[in-house]
Amino acid sequence: MHIMILGGTGMLVYATALELLRAGHQVSATARHTPHFGQPFEAVKLHLLDVAQASSAELQHLFAGVEAVIYALGPDDREIPPAPALPFFRKHLAEQTRRIALAARAAGVKKFVVYGSYFNTFDRQHPEWQLQAHHPYIQARHEQAEQAIEAGAAGQMDVCILEIPYVFGVTPDRKPFWKEVLFDRVLYGFRLIRYSPSASQLCKSASLRCFHS
């Protein structure tokens, strides 16, 4: 199967591409600049294209002969746009996904997979939290899923939304996101515990609930 991945320089895309290659698929990817991933990623046919700026005609030409598209584009919850945030997330998630999904369907693509967010899973499992009402990113992710499914047009193109949880990993020549936000802080915390004379008392008095808050 010929599979195209949109957003060819991310960690998820890198891992996805390698798995697809191992499974014997023909893999293409788009990126705004050439990644330096080396082998075996060099077997991926790379198209240097800013998909967000491409016209519908350019997208249909890109998708010619492609059987499945993996959509791994757009901002995540780390993005902090100017208020109000909803128009920004709606434009770059829901509206852009719909436009590209429609172009894929018009080009004859049969399967369209969106890399979504685990926040949608939480919202569905705990409606009492009202996550969409309180967070524009989560609302836009919900709209993205709806728009993608609608673009599939009742079976003309199968649409799947993957609500991906926390992912740890690395890609060649790139510092992992988690290094600064988690591991560096954990290492720094370990130094405090190791050298602070009151650390043992703090550990004894701390509630496990603190680690889940």
Which DSSP state fits 81? Answer: P
**Cα gap 93→173, rounded to integer Å:** 28
Domains in the chain, CATH or no CATH each: 2-162 (3.40.50.720), 177-212 (no CATH)
> In the predicted model, what is the mean pLDDT of residues 188-198?
51
- Percent of the chain at pLDDT exceeding 90: 62
For residues 158-165, give the mean pLDDT: 93
Top mean pLDDT of 13-17, 126-130, 178-182 is at 126-130
The CA distances from residue 183 to 56, 170, 172, 190, 199, in Å, are 42, 13, 18, 10, 20
Q: pLDDT digit string (tens) for 61-78?
A: 999 999 999 999 999 888
pTM above 0.85, yes or no: no
